[in-house]
């Protein structure tokens, strides 16, 4: 299992390129199952979760060629299954459920099970498909779904679930009639997926708002090619790195309009921003100011940025109150940050972070994707050496984060 060795503070400076958005790549790759033919996707990031989605599509009979551009041919899909051994490594595998039922009328998808950050049920996905006429049974940890043909209906989400919105939007594109999804999630990744589906011939209105209207069509066709959006969470992660280390870095190719809530909070923390012709220059101050944060569905402050923001707050001037409202157990990074000298107390879903002068390097362990990013930030702050174990979590969601940091001057080494 790989480890990351970070040999203390370094002054980071320079320019890095923001990769394609992981959480846009995964649903868009799954959506290729809806339209037989050759799909050509650009800016797909080379990271573990994308390789897992590639394996899923290959096992179903599709072909995937991935060097620079990602070419997916779903003409010969002849298996309609997502097996547990893949789903247990990537919950987003659930995104093949909607497309398989919509195009082939059947699917066998392993229930994703929980993960480090929470129970993460998929009841809203299942209930929505049932409302569209799918017959669903849960046996031996698998979802068995069949549908002669899905029909348009009205669906209301008690919680604006991101992949739930994506699954049902994809299923509705081939349903008979019109589907309305109320209290839909509004993330930019959902808009990107909707744009790709529309390029394939789908009829979708309201993507990015809480009311989605999809008018079913008889079939979809792959468009010529499509470039996915850049990753707003990778962008936010590098902004937190700049804030934590007083760095001056340029983030090339990011979408500033996707990160309003992040920029607002980071400005309060004392970071300055300058737009460049194709990106954003981020300048951290000598020591960040403490700022309170509460995670909310988009366009609020993203839960996927909570751990990274907390790492920056460990050495801030003052006390920061961080409230996690999306997942029930997304404070796994706190124990590790405290081993590095952070002063954090947790009360339910609220963490109180009292800024300390400095962190001490230590051997720590990553527990989930964004927790591992927060440990990298803490390692860049600490004077001494930090060794981060289980960094496969990091590799699941970031494209060569360590290489990008080395390019900025960080003293980081990957130990096999």
Q: What are phi and psi of 8, to 5 degrees?
A: 80, -170
d(CA 379, CA 411): 10
315-329 core/surface letters (b: 16 or more CB in 10 A; e: else): bbeeebebebbbbeb
Q: Under the criterion CB under 6 A, does residue 12 sit at the interface with ligand EPZ?
A: no
- Which residue from 69, 159, 211, 264 is in contact with ligand EPZ, where contact means CB under 6 A? 159
307 contacts ligand EPZ (rule: CB under 6 A)? no
In the complex, minimum distance from the CB of residue 370 to ligand EPZ, in angstroms, rounded to a whole number: 5
**CA dihedral (287, 289, 290, 295) positive or negative:** negative
CA dihedral sign, ordered 49, 54, 57, 59: negative
Query: Token digits for 233?
Result: 């969470």
Q: Does 306 participate in binding ligand EPZ (rule CB under 6 A)? A: no
Residues 373-412 that bind ligand EPZ (CB under 6 A): 397
Q: Which is nearer to ligand EPZ, 251 or 369 (CB)?
A: 369
Residue 26 within binding range of ligand EPZ, rule CB under 6 A:
yes
**If binding is defined by CB under 6 A, does position 326 make contact with ligand EPZ?**
yes
C-alpha–C-alpha distance, residues 94 and 108, integer Å:
10
Q: Binding of ligand EPZ at residue 170 (CB under 6 A)?
A: no
As a whole number of Å, the CA-based R_g of the chain is 21
134, containing H or E segment: none
Residues 51-90 that bind ligand EPZ (CB under 6 A): none
Distance (Å, whole) CA 381 – CA 250 = 19
Catalytic residue among 70, 115, 245, 254: 115
Q: Which is nearer to ligand EPZ, 24 or 378 (CB)?
A: 24
Site for ligand EPZ in 360-379 (CB under 6 A): 369-370
Touching ligand EPZ, residues 260-299 (CB under 6 A): none
Q: Give the list of residues 6+ apart from residue 388 with CB closer than 8 angstroms, or none.
A: 3, 4, 6, 364, 365, 366, 372, 375, 376, 379, 394
In terms of Cα–Cα distance, which of 257, 386, 368, 256 is closest to 314? Answer: 386
**Judged by CB under 6 A, does residue 44 bind ligand EPZ?**
no
Least gap, CB of 246 to ligand EPZ (angstroms): 26
Span from 99-107, 114-122, 342-350, 376-384 in contact with ligand EPZ (CB under 6 A): 114-122
Q: Kindly tell me which of 12 and 24 has the beta carbon lying closer to ligand EPZ.
A: 24
* H or E, element range at 2: none
Q: Taking Cα atoms as reference points, which of 166, 134, 213, 181 lies closest to residue 31?
A: 166
Backbone angles phi, psi at 151, to 5 degrees: -120, 150
Q: Is 124 a residue that touches ligand EPZ (CB under 6 A)?
A: yes
113: left (phi over 0), alpha (psi -120 to 50) or beta: left
Nearer to ligand EPZ, 12 or 95 (CB): 95
Number of residues that bind ligand EPZ (CB under 6 A): 24
Residues 220-259, mask of contacts with ligand EPZ (x by CB under 6 A): ----------------------------------------
Based on the residue annotation, tell me whether 115 is a catalytic residue of this protein: yes
Binding flag, residue 121, ligand EPZ (CB under 6 A): yes
> Which residues are known catalytic residues?
115
**Interface with ligand EPZ (CB under 6 A):** 22-23, 26, 92, 118, 120-125, 159, 161-164, 185, 303-304, 326-327, 369-370, 397
């Amino acid at each position: 299992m790989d480890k990351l060795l970070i040999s203390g503070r370094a002054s980071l400076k320079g320019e890095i390129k923001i990769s394609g958005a992981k959480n846009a790549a995964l649903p868009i790759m799954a959506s290729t199952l809806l339209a037989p033919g050759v799909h050509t996707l650009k800016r797909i990031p080379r990271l573990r979760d994308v390789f897992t989605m590639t394996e899923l599509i290959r096992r179903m009979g599709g072909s995937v060629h991935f060097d620079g551009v990602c070419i997916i041919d779903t003409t010969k899909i002849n298996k309609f299954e997502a097996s547990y051994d893949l789903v247990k490594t990537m919950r987003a595998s659930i995104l093949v459920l909607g497309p398989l039922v919509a195009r082939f009328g059947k699917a066998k998808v392993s229930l994703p099970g929980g993960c480090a950050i929470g129970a993460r049920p998929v009841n809203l996905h299942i209930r929505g498909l049932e409302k569209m006429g799918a017959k669903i049974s849960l046996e031996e940890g698998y979802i068995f779904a069949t549908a002669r043909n899905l029909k348009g209906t009205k669906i209301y989400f008690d919680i604006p679930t991101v992949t739930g919105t994506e699954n049902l939007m994809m299923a509705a594109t081939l349903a008979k009639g019109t589907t309305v999804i109320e209290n839909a999630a509004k993330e930019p990744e959902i808009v990107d997926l909707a744009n790709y589906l529309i390029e394939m011939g789908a009829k979708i209105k309201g993507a990015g708002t809480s009311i989605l209207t999809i008018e079913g069509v008889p079939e979809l066709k792959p468009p010529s090619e499509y470039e996915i959006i850049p990753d707003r969470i990778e962008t936010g992660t590098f902004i937190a790195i700049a804030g934590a280390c007083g760095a001056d870095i340029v983030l090339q190719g990011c979408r500033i309009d996707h990160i309003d809530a992040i920029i607002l909070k980071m400005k309060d923390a004392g970071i300055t921003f300058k737009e460049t012709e194709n990106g954003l220059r981020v300048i951290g101050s000598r020591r960040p100011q403490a700022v309170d944060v509460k995670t909310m569905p988009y366009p609020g402050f993203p839960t996927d940025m909570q751990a990274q923001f907390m790492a920056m707050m460990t050495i801030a001037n003052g006390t920061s109150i961080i409230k996690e409202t999306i997942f029930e157990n997304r404070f796994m990074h706190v124990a590790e940050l405290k081993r590095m000298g952070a002063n954090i107390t947790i009360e339910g879903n609220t963490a109180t972070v009292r800024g300390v002068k400095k962190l001490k390097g230590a051997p720590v362990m990553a527990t989930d994707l964004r927790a591992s990013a927060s440990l990298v930030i803490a390692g860049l702050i600490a004077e001494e050496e930090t060794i981060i174990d289980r960094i496969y979590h990091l590799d699941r969601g970031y494209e060569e984060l360590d290489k990008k940091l080395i390019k900025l001057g960080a003293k980081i080494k990957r130990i096999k």
